[in-house]
């Protein structure tokens, strides 16, 4: 059981879709889907093996806003088995629609998070009975988790837009000062700590804001944390 190394494949959207198809074949799944988001960069990437009809319907109806699989997985550490969502009212909405399009009723969504606030969701589905699903699930879940990490790692690494926004490098002093701001210190405090004028502290903060394209210091702190330039405290 070898893991396909995504980074060796030609760089394009199709390779990810192809990768999803391979997952389906390997694990007896009907469909697979990946969605990656980077809140800080505001980027979203998605690859699916679904028919275009369902994809369009899903987008047109804005089902992403109510899809309980996404809601749950975004807040979970462990994989989310869709059968645990059946009581959700939104579940009815989305899955009745999906059923109309002939889509499977059993599935799982696996969340994967990166260090910069980015999150990827890998879903795999299959039309079968609950018992069948349970067996299949326990059998393939750990490999699916591995695949989820693999695809998210590759998407994030190859996403040029993300990479650009990943590296608004702050100077040593700027990062240092922003870190103190995130720790709740005032400019005067920081000046005392670093033995420089609070005026100077403000200058570094200003250039930090500019580099992060932030209008205010709170926004700059939020972005810096989201992209890993500083840590919350």
Q: Provide the binding-site residues for its own copies, judged by CB under 8 A.
A: 2, 39-40, 42, 74-79, 111-115, 117, 119, 138, 141-143, 145-146, 149-150, 152-153, 156, 181-186, 214-223, 225-226, 228, 230-233
Which residue number, 38 or 49, has a Cβ lying nearer to its own copies?
A: 38
What's the min distance (Å) between Cβ of 93 and DNA?
A: 25
Nearer to DNA, 15 or 209 (CB): 209
Q: How far is the CB of 157 from DNA (least distance, A)?
A: 24
181 neighbors 232 (Cβ within 8 angstroms)? no
Give least dist CB 226 to DNA, A: 18
Partner in contact with 197, chosen from its own copies, DNA, none, beta carbon below 5 to 8 Å by kind? DNA
Q: How far is the CB of 136 from DNA (least distance, A)?
A: 42
Binding site for DNA (CB under 7 A): 169, 171-174, 181, 186-188, 191, 194-200, 202-207, 209, 215-217
Q: Which is nearer to DNA, 93 or 198 (CB)?
A: 198
Residue nearer to its own copies on the CB measure, 33 or 80 = 80
Give me the least distance between CB of 220 and its own copies, in Å please. 8
Q: Give CA–CA dist 13/155, Å, rounded.
A: 10
């Amino acid at each position: 059981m070898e893991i396909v190394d995504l980074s060796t494949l030609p760089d394009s959207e199709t390779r990810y879709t192809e990768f999803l198809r391979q997952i389906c074949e390997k694990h007896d799944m009907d469909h697979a889907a990946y969605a990656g988001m980077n809140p800080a960069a505001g980027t979203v990437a998605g690859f699916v093996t679904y028919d275009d009809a369902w994809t369009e319907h899903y987008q047109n109806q804005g089902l992403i806003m109510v899809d309980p699989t996404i809601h749950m997985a975004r807040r979970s550490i462990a994989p989310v088995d869709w059968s645990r969502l059946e009581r959700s009212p939104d579940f009815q909405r989305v899955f009745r629609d999906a059923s109309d399009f002939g889509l499977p009723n059993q599935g799982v969504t696996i969340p994967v998070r990166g260090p910069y606030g980015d999150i990827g969701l890998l879903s795999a589905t299959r039309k079968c009975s609950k018992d069948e699903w349970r067996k299949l699930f326990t059998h393939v879940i750990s490999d699916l988790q591995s695949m989820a990490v693999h695809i998210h790692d590759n998407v994030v690494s190859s996403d040029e837009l993300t990479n650009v926004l990943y590296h608004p490098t702050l100077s040593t002093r700027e990062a240092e000062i922003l870190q103190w701001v995130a720790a709740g210190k005032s400019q005067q405090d920081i000046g005392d700590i670093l033995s420089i004028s609070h005026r100077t502290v403000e200058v570094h903060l200003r250039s930090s804001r500019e580099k992060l394209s932030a209008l205010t210091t709170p926004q700059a702190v939020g972005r810096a944390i989201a992209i890993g330039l500083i840590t919350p405290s």
